[in-house]
Structure formats: C-alpha cells, structure tokens
Amino acid sequence: MADLYEMLGVAREASADEIKKAYRKIARELHPDINPDPAVQDKFKEVTAAYEVLSDTQKRQQYDMGGQGFGGGQGFGGFSDIMDAFFGGGGNRGPRARMRQGQDALIRVQVTLAEACFGTDRELTIENAVVCPTCTGSGCAKGTSPSMCQVCKGRGETQQIQKSFLGQVMTSRACGTCSGFGSVIQEPCRECDGEGRVRARQNIPVKIPAGVETGNRMQLAGRGEVGAGGGPAGDLYVEIVEEEHEFLVRDGDTLHMEVEITFAAASLGTKISVETLDGQSEIAIKAGTQTGSTIALKGHGMTRLRSSSRGDLIVHIVVMTPTKLSREQEKMLNEFAKSRGEAAGGSTTKGKNQSFLGKFRDSFGR
C-alpha cells in the first residue's frame, strides 16, 4: 500500500478535519453508487482503507510510528465490509503499513581532552540506511505502484469459517500472499529490491558541546536508520570517547597534573611556568614547598557541561632529590645538614604525603 497520506492527497500534518474533507471529496467521485466500474471500486476501497486509519487518532498514531500493531491478524468478527468503515463501523483491523519506523544507530567519536573541554565541530561519516533515491521509498519500479492483493482484497488478512458444534466460528490471520500489507509489489524497484531503502555513506555535522566526557551520548533525532518502506528514520546516538592526555588527569571537572621541581627551588621558592589547556600559566612556588603539596589554578579545569563555568587545575608538586652530586655539592649538603643538627636518617611521613602518593600512584604510573 502506498503512503496513506498520499492516497488521500493530504499533508502528514493534516488536521482531522482536512482528512475528512479530502476523503469526502474523493468518496463523492469514486463511490460505487456513482461509479460502479470495478477498477474505480478497487481504488475506492484503497482510499477508504486509508481513511479508516487516518481518521482514527489511535490508528493514525500507530501508522505514523511505523505501523506496529497493524493487522495483527487477531480478532473475531463478521466480515467487515469496507463500507462499514465508511459508515463508521469496522473493528481494529486492516492491512499493515509497509512503512516501518527505522532503527536507532550508535557511533562512537574520539575527542581530545581539549576538545572535551572547549567543545568542537565534527563531521562524522557513517554508513546507514537512507530512503532509496530511485523509488523514494515506495519499493516499486519507476512508474508502477503496488496493486491490491487479490487474495485478501486489500484487507491484509484472510478469514476462515470453521464449523463447530457451537456454530460457525470466524478466525482471521495475516494474508500469506501479501504478508499482511494488503497490496503486492509486482515490479520491485531494482535499486532497493522493494525495500524502499538502501545503505549509503553520509556525512553528518555534529556539534560536540563543551564539557562532555566518556560515555556521554548525544541524540540526533531522525539521523538514524530509515525504516523499511522508506519509513521514518530512527535517531543517531553519538557516544563520546575521551582520549587520554599526555600529562593531565581528569576527575569530573577537576584536572590534575604533576610538576617536578628541584630541591633548591622547593627550598628557596621560585616561579615556574606550567602548560595548561589554556596555554602557559605561571605559578609561584613558596619557599619550603614539600612533595605532595598542591597549588590550585582556579578555572583552568574542565568546562562544566551546559555551563560556561570551569573547574580547577590542581598542580601536585614533586620535589626531586638529586641523584648525582659532585664532591663539592656533597660537601655543601653535609654542612647544610650539620648546620640544622640533622643526621642521616628520616622520619615517617604522615597524612597528606601518603594519601597523595596512594591516590596518584596509579594515575601517574609511579
């Protein structure tokens, strides 16, 4: 069956009133009482079946969703003449739509930490189902259209009368000849084999917002797979995968980095320049800085999603102990130790230092 809206000559967003008017107009021309020609009557039945669906809010919704729930082949009842539909009768049956809602699709996209922080524009190349350009979804060869199924007369179901001691029982089931569609494509479109859709490569521009992180999904409505019969496309989900940064470690909207300073710099204090996502940033190292102490660079962390505010960058200081000393340096350090009354040895580190090492050992591979 062709698109029901097309059969009535109305837009997809037509109001119930517009649909009724359109149908009345066609019915006046095609009604069997006026025009008994069998070909015209077939057409009349098709249009009436289309009206039956589109005039019923619930059925129309089902059809718009892709036709699930149509012509399930259940239900008992008398032969509902097509005229029943015209006069408001008829049950919840009818041919099922060829058009089906398309599937959702998922694509993963890798972003750098900077892209995750500031957002970026990407063009994704994906291969998915699109409406067949040759038949625009009808599945029919050029110049042809589906013809009414001769077995079920367009009902999409066949009915059997079974005699039992209770009397006659009527059962319906989906028509095997037309698979319940009520119509048969005699000459399928060669490009899509009657599917109404083909696979094609598409370039889709995507705006990745600032503040995303691994696992975040963006939903692009209607950019998924087109359904059978050229049915409405599902959604495309773009899942973020954040690449590991060379030296920045992310924890929500906070970033961490480790900076090594010399023993002398830690003792005397200095200014150093560190590389952040925003470029070089100068930080002051206070005299007497210990390994494990931290300096927060406000607003140099990650952007918070759906906000312009940013977290902090925490710089973890590691004081480097010299491994090779010249004789001269060794002598100076010995004198330095003596002057402070220190001997070889040390004391157990507590609290802060230990937790820092524990927390970042894994992150920094130490």
**Comparison of 157 and 253: residue with beta carbon closer to Zn ion:** 157
**Residue 297 contacts Zn ion per CB under 5 A:** no
First to last CA, the chain: 68
Closest CA to 170 of 157, 181, 180, 185: 157
Paired sense of beta strands 105-111 and 236-242, if any: parallel
**Residue 111 contacts Zn ion per CB under 5 A:** no
154-193 residues labelled b (16+ CB within 10 A) or e (exposed)? bbbbbbeeeeeeeeeeeebebbeebebbbbbbeebbeebe
Shortest distance in whole angstroms from residue 102 CB to Zn ion:
15
Going through 114-235 in order, the beta strands assigned E by DSSP cover: 120-131, 147-148, 157-164, 167-174, 183-184, 197-208, 217-220
**Comparison of 152 and 317: residue with beta carbon closer to Zn ion:** 152
**Residue 226 contacts Zn ion per CB under 5 A:** no
**Comparison of 152 and 265: residue with beta carbon closer to Zn ion:** 152
Site for Zn ion in 161-220 (CB under 5 A): 175, 177-178, 189, 191-192
Q: Which amino acid is at 303?
A: T
| Choices 133-141, 258-266, 282-290, 338-346 (CB under 5 A): range interacting with Zn ion | 133-141
**Residue 254 contacts Zn ion per CB under 5 A:** no
Q: Which of 35, 134, 145, 171 binds Zn ion (CB under 5 A)?
A: 134
**Comparison of 172 and 303: residue with beta carbon closer to Zn ion:** 172
Shortest distance in whole angstroms from residue 201 CB to Zn ion:
17
353 to 248, 287, 291, 365: CA distances (angstroms): 20, 18, 7, 17
**Residue 135 contacts Zn ion per CB under 5 A:** yes
* Contacting residues toward Zn ion, per CB under 5 A: 132, 134-135, 149, 151-152, 175, 177-178, 189, 191-192
